[in-house]
Amino acid sequence: MATMDTKLNQLVDTVWARFQEWPGTKRFLIVIGGIPGSGKTTLSLHLTAALNARWSSEHFGSPPIAVFVPMDGFHYTRAQLDTFPNPAEAHARRGAAFTFDGEGFVNLVKRLAEPVTESTETIWAPDFDHAAKDPRENAIAVERHNRIVVLEGNYTLLNIPPWSQIAPLSSLTILATVPHEVARRRLAARHLRAGIVDTLEAGDRRAVENDLPNGDEMLANVVPGVDVLFESVDEEGWGS
């Protein structure tokens, strides 16, 4: 079985070859989706760093070509969840598709897909403050020189409106895959580290009752024609 680094290098080669043929007036939008715990964020961070390293080796001194924009910044805030028809359910199900501002994320992708010109201004995106457990506005800058944007999230490849508008705007789609038992173990540990739960058992319960059903919904409704399947396995530095 190929190591994760080998798989990453192969993916970087694929992306780089496609990017070389991409029009200079458009950003290359890489859309990564997958179930919670599938290693999407880890893959996105490694891929962004590897693409910037490749660019730097060929264009020494130039600013980074790639930037990472996760979907997590489009969580509804806890105050917004309080206004839902069933606030208790909204908080308990945080992470489900309906607890995200899908329209807001789609609008961001549409802006990123617009032609890049000399007058193109910086586009700002939110990220998620895990300490505050809420989004943080204008935290990620997508500059004019960022010709590659790595977009990642649970529902980026969901074939249900408004999410279904994302794939047609993308340059390359990647579905991160992982066995459910691996995702379950990762999620339980992640929830404990983040302070969402007090015990590993409670983290496992949240994974089983919320995260994995959300992932099953995504897999049952994934957009057709995904370009790349990237299997994430348990290996140090990946998916944790």
Q: Cα separation of 146 and 188, whole Å?
A: 35
Handedness of CA 181, 185, 190, 192 (dihedral sign): positive
- Give every CB contact of residue 53 below 8 A, 6+ residues apart in sequence: none
- Mean pLDDT, the chain, whole residue set: 94
Q: Cα separation of 127 and 110, whole Å?
A: 18
* Residues 123, 129, 132, 134, Cα dihedral to 10°: 60
pLDDT tens digits, one per residue of 87-136: 999 999 999 999 999 999 999 999 999 999 999 999 999 999 988 999 99
Q: Is the pLDDT of residue 2 over 80?
A: no
Q: Cα separation of 30 and 15, whole Å?
A: 9
Residue 236 — pLDDT band, cuts 50, 70, 90? Answer: low
pLDDT tens digits, one per residue of 43-54: 999 999 999 999
pTM of the model: 0.94
Residue 5 — pLDDT band, cuts 50, 70, 90? Answer: confident
Query: Widest CA span of the chain, in angstroms?
Result: 54
Q: Cα separation of 70 and 87, whole Å?
A: 25
Give the pair of three-digit tokens for residue 60. 């020494």
Q: What CATH superfamily is the domain 4-231?
A: P-loop containing nucleotide triphosphate hydrolases (3.40.50.300)
User: Would you list the domain boundaries of the chain?
Assistant: 4-231
pLDDT tens digits, one per residue of 26-40: 999 999 999 999 999
